[in-house]
Structure formats: structure tokens, C-alpha cells
Amino acid sequence: MKIYVWTALGLCALGGGCAGPLDRSWDDPTYRAIRDRYAESDRRVSESRSPVPNAPASGIEVLDQLSVHDAIRIAIINNPELRRAGYRVDVAAGLVTQAGLYPNPSFLVDVEALGSKAGRGGETTYRLEQEIVLGGKLKRARQVADADRLGAQAAFVGEEFAVASRVTRAYFGAVVAQERLARRQDLIDLADQLLRAATAQVDAGAATEPDRLRAEVVREQAQIELEAARLEMEASGRALASAMGVDDAVSIPLSTDASLVPSMLSQDEIAASALESNSRMAIARIGLERARRAHQLARAQAIPNLVASAGPRYSDPGSETTMDIGIGVEVPLFDRNQGAIRAALAERRVAAANLQSVQLQILNEISEAWAAYESARIATIRYRDNLIPKADRTLDLTRQAYERGKADYLRLLDAQQVVVESRIASIDALRRLHEAAALLRELAQADAPWRAPSPAGEPEGEVHQ
């Protein structure tokens, strides 16, 4: 048995196949925090297939108000899609470990002439077999698996920015819905003033009954639009909660001002950052490197492995113990892995074309998002600085003239309609502005300001322009 033990140890050392721990060398704080927070509860769900247990506190319960970056931080911790991306990093890390493991040895026992009537048996052989991997196949396989791990890490970062983008859009959707509701309430007030003025004019004989009826119609329409805006605000609150990964609608005040114009890099700077840092570009580059490594692995797999065996043989008739040693090798006469090598070479070309395709797609998306951003930014500033003040002033002067009998009802109604259209258009422009800015940040992936608390009083990346 000593021979067997030392042989096993020798072959294990020769193969270098002792298993190592799971490779979790990526120490990204967001990845680590998500795994540590939910690993146990997700494990219980996976084992019991029971309803989802009570999740850890979301983090929103300790806040008095919610900024956009606070919403993103809460979403990153609670969003299940990001957790899924994080677990895929663990999957890839496990496959890296598995790819580097040596084949297990085999222990065989051959016993001859059992039950022979001659009395004494034949020979008994104890044999340990080990496949010896040649051509650096294990190293190549581990390199391929490691490229998959890097791709999973890049996908995790990409999902983090995608979550941030979704939350940003939902957040400003909720802020804009609140603003829209406030503006609809302003319109109710204007409609009430108009109705009172029309009633006074009718009572004084300066206007006719149809004038008052038209004012009542305007008031009813404003009330209908107010109810629609209230429902829209409630829906936007639920949408924000869903994007953040929390169960209940967000009820605390939203503190980031939608009227602040997002501060962005130039289009060229965003494009340069995206080509350097965007996760889709990173995944495409990693895919190209993986294809190169897979091609090297396919070429290495054409080299046959050795099968070494060793063990004692005990001969019962002669009471003699000897040592058997064997070496076997596959003869690559027909299968030289030529098909897999050719396919792997083609995959390298596919990956190269894919890298260029992703680059063109990202540049096109940046161009479209930048055009939408610039259009919305210009519209927002003009509405804020020019159109709305002028429309408000026009309405105020027209109302005064109407009350003095120097302007007719239709003129007042037109002035009110201009205010309505200007304010609603301004709110729509603000929403488009923040949606385009969120998409540009997702494409650029230049920084992740939500990973660190913002200084007190700082408007979190927004500036007046």
C-alpha cells in the first residue's frame, strides 16, 4: 500500500491538479455589498422554492427626502436584475476554478481466477491511472474561462449603469409628474378666476350667458386634466418604487430639482469616454480576446494527452510482488481537432467584426441621444427664460383688460391657452431633457457619483444654465 500512496501523491504533484478556492479576486464594493446582503435569503429561496422571505430593509425608511442619487443607491442594493448579474460573476468565477482542475486519477483492481477449482488464484493487480494533460490545455482553458469571468464583471457594471439610468428616468418622471400636477392646479385657479370674471361681466350686463358657459366648460376641462395629472403622479410614484426595487410607492419628498439643467460633457468627450469605458465595448473587446484564447485552446487540444499508470502486481502462485508501469497515448490519425480549430479561427473574425459593430452602434446612439439632449436643453431654457414669463405677463395684462371691459372673452381665453400650452410644453421638454441626459451618462459610463454620498447642499451634477 505504501507504493500506492506514494504513486498517487507523485501523479497528483506531476499533474498539479490540486483544486484551489473559488476565484473571487474582483473586489468591486457594489458587487460585494449586493452578494453579502442577499446571498443568504436568495439561497433559502433557491433551496425551499418558497415565497420570497422578508427582504432586508431597503434604506429608504431612514430618509426624510429622496435625491436622485439616493434613489439610485437604494436601487443598486435592492434591484434583483443587478443581483442576478452579480451571481453570474460568481458562476463565471466557479467555471474559472473548474477549468484549471486536473483530471482525477483512477484506481483499478484486477483479480484473476476467482473461484478456480485449482485452489490457488492467479494474479492481483492494483493500478493507479492518471491522464497527463499536455500542450498547456489546462492553462488555455482557464484563460478562456477567465475571459468569461471578465465579461461577466463588465456586464455587471453595465447593468449597474442601466439600473441608474432607469431609476433616473423614473425619478424625473415622478418629479415632472408632480410639476405637471402643480401646473394643472394653477390652471384650475386660472379657470376659477376666469369663471368669476365672466360671471361678474354677465351680471353687470357687459357679457352674455354663452361667455359664462364657455368659462364653465374651460373650468371642467381643467378639472378633468387635473384628475388625469393626479393619477399620472400616483403611477409615476409606483414606477419609481419599482425601479428602486422597493414594494411601496415612494411617499417622501423628492429633493432633486427637475428644472436644473443637467451638466454634461461635450459630445466628443462622451464618445471618447464611451469607446473607452462603456461596458458593451468592454464586453466586445473581451469577446475578441476570448476568441483568440479559444483558438489557442483548440490548437492545443490537437496535442494528445498521455495516460500513465502504475501499481503493484501480486502473483499468488509464486507469492511474488512486482511493479507495473504503463504509458499510453492517443494517436491523432484521423481527429486532429482540425474542425474545431477552423471554427475557432472563424469565431475570432466574428468577434473582430462584432467589436466594430458595437462601436458604430454606440456612436450612433450617442449622436441620437445628444441631439435629443440639445433639443430639449434649448427648449427648456427658452421656455423658462422667455416664453413662460411672456405668456404669464400677457395673460395678466389681458385679464386686467378683460375686467375693465377693454378686451373680449375670446382674447382672454387665447391668452390662457398660451399659458397652458407653454407650461405643459416646458414640462415635457424637462422630461425629455433628463431622459436624454440619463441615456448619455449610461453610454459614457465616465463616473458613478451615486457610489459616494454627495456633499451637503450640492445639487448632484445639475447646474443652472
pLDDT tens for each residue of 261-310: 888 889 999 999 999 999 999 999 999 999 999 999 999 999 999 999 99
Residues 243 and 238: their CA atoms lie apart, in Å, by: 9
Q: What is the pLDDT of residue 459?
A: 44
Q: Is the pLDDT of residue 53 over 60?
A: no
Cell numbers that stand for 277 in this block:
469605458
Q: What is the pLDDT of residue 123?
A: 82
Cell numbers that stand for 64 in this block:
426624510
Minimum mean pLDDT among 148-157, 179-188, 313-322: which range? 313-322
Q: What is the pLDDT of residue 379?
A: 93
* DSSP single-letter state for residue 55: P
Q: Which residue has the higher pLDDT, 398 or 32?
A: 398
Distance in Å from the first CA to the final CA of the chain: 84
Q: What is the pLDDT of residue 326?
A: 93
Residue with grid cell 431609476, as numbered in its chain: 167
* pLDDT band with cut points at 50, 70 and 90 for residue 460: very low
Cβ 58 vs Cβ 246: under 8 Å: yes
Q: Is the pLDDT of residue 27 over 80?
A: no
Q: How far is CA 440 from the centre of its chain?
A: 15
Return the SS3 of 334. Answer: coil
How is the beta sheet containing 106-111 ordered, strand by strand?
A: 106-111, 123-132, 306-315, 320-329
Confirm whether pTM is higher than 0.85. Answer: no
Residues 423 and 225: their CA atoms lie apart, in Å, by: 14
Return the SS3 of 407. Answer: coil
* pLDDT band with cut points at 50, 70 and 90 for residue 248: confident
pLDDT (mean) for 236-249: 87
Q: Which residue has the higher pLDDT, 372 or 315?
A: 372
Q: What is the pLDDT of residue 317?
A: 67
Q: What is the pLDDT of residue 280?
A: 96
- CATH class of the domain whose range is 65-101+133-302+337-449+458-463: mainly alpha
Q: What is the pLDDT of residue 451?
A: 77
pLDDT (mean) for 413-439: 87
pLDDT, tens only, 140-182: 999 999 999 999 999 999 999 999 999 999 999 999 898 888 8
Return mean pLDDT, the chain: 84
Residues 160 and 153: their CA atoms lie apart, in Å, by: 11
Residue with grid cell 477567465, as numbered in its chain: 146
Q: Is the pLDDT of residue 402 over 90?
A: no
* pLDDT band with cut points at 50, 70 and 90 for residue 462: very low
Q: Which residue has the higher pLDDT, 357 or 37?
A: 357
* pLDDT band with cut points at 50, 70 and 90 for residue 50: low
Residue type, 375: S
pLDDT, tens only, 196-240: 877 887 888 777 888 788 888 888 988 998 999 999 999 999 999
Ramachandran category for residue 353: left, alpha or beta (phi over 0 → left; psi -120 to 50 → alpha): alpha
Ramachandran category for residue 462: left, alpha or beta (phi over 0 → left; psi -120 to 50 → alpha): beta
What residue ranges in 279-368 does DSSP mark as E strands?
306-315, 320-329
Q: What is the pLDDT of residue 81?
A: 87
Residues 451 and 338: their CA atoms lie apart, in Å, by: 49
pLDDT, tens only, 109-148: 988 766 656 556 678 889 999 999 999 999 999 999 999 9
Q: Where are the domains of the chain?
A: 1-32+104-132+307-336, 65-101+133-302+337-449+458-463
pLDDT, tens only, 76-94: 888 888 889 999 999 999 9
Q: Where are the alpha helices (DSSP H) in 278-325?
A: 279-300
Cell numbers that stand for 455 in this block:
456633499
Cβ 181 vs Cβ 227: under 8 Å: no
Residue type, 160: E
Q: Is the pLDDT of residue 4 over 50?
A: no
Return the SS3 of 63. Answer: coil
Q: What is the pLDDT of residue 47?
A: 76
pLDDT (mean) for 356-374: 97
Q: What is the pLDDT of residue 8?
A: 40
Query: Within 10 Å of residue 408's Cβ, how many Cβ atoms?
Result: 14
